[in-house]
């Protein structure tokens, strides 16, 4: 099932999501499948459950845009273990469509998470993948990437979004 993407302004995006405690259930497998489907449909490379209105600590990532099944990553209850280096490049979010900003982030990120069976694993990503790990974990903590840009830019985005909301052009 393809869910509509929840947009900035909806409180679910700024609420820390709930820890997943039951694994390998049909509901969890369905949620993960629906999240991949919804992400591909929206042309994103990552999606966190709050972005489809479900406040649970589940995120999916596929930077190959479904071209390489080996690049599909499921992160449940993820925790950042270690960050190294620096990178700055453009970042966007399906929940803040139409905006992209330069965001400074660490260059290499090690994350610890559970898979759909509840097994813990650790993995390290660099560049775009490091950015995705941080961006999605932020989502699960109720934080949007625009909190990492200057207050001036953030206010500008807020004002533009408010205008779009008034015009009924912001879901």
Tell me the residue number closest to Ni ion, measured at CB: 93
**How far apart are CB 145 and Ni ion at their closest, in Å?**
6
Judged by CB under 5 A, how many residues of this single chain contact Ni ion? Answer: 1
DSSP 8-state assignment for residue 164: H
**How far apart are CB 149 and Ni ion at their closest, in Å?**
14
**Cβ proximity to Ni ion, 49 vs 93, nearer residue:** 93
Among 52, 73, 74, 93, binds Ni ion (CB under 5 A): 93
- The token pair at 7 is 């947009």
- The token pair at 163 is 């205008």
- 84, 91, 136, 169: the catalytic one is 136
- Please, where are the H alpha helices in 10-126? 26-41
Region from 56-64, 86-94, 119-127, 153-161 binding Ni ion, contact rule CB under 5 A:
86-94
Our finding on whether 149 is near Ni ion (CB under 5 A) is: no
Do 23 and 118 contact (CB within 8 A), yes or no?
Answer: yes
Contacts 24+ apart (CB under 8 A), 118-125: 118/23, 118/24, 118/76, 122/81, 123/73
Nearest to 111 by CA among 101, 99, 119, 121: 121
Our finding on whether 32 is near Ni ion (CB under 5 A) is: no
**How far apart are CB 75 and Ni ion at their closest, in Å?**
13
CA distance 155 to 170: 17
Our finding on whether 134 is near Ni ion (CB under 5 A) is: no
Region from 1-9, 64-72, 88-96, 152-160 binding Ni ion, contact rule CB under 5 A:
88-96
CA distance 97 to 8: 9
Active site residue 22: no
**How far apart are CB 26 and Ni ion at their closest, in Å?**
27
Contact footprint for Ni ion (CB under 5 A): 93
Kindly list the catalytic residues.
Answer: 136
């Amino acid at each position: 099932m393809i869910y509509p993407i929840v947009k900035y302004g909806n409180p679910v995006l700024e609420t820390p999501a709930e820890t997943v405690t039951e694994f390998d259930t049909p509901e969890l497998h369905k949620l993960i499948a629906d999240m991949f489907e919804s992400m591909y449909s929206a042309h994103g490379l990552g999606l966190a459950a709050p972005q489809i209105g479900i406040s649970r600590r589940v995120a999916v990532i596929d930077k190959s845009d479904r071209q390489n099944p080996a690049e599909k990553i499921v992160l449940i209850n993820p925790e950042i273990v270690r960050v190294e280096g620096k990178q700055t490049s453009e970042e966007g979010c399906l929940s803040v469509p139409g905006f992209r900003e330069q965001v400074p982030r660490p260059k290499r990120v090690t994350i610890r998470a559970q898979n759909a069976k509840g097994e813990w694993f650790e993995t390290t990503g660099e560049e775009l993948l490091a950015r995705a790990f941080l961006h999605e974990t932020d989502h699960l903590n109720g934080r949007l990437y625009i909190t990492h840009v200057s207050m001036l830019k953030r206010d500008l985005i807020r004002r533009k979004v408010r205008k779009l909301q008034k015009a009924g052009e912001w879901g």
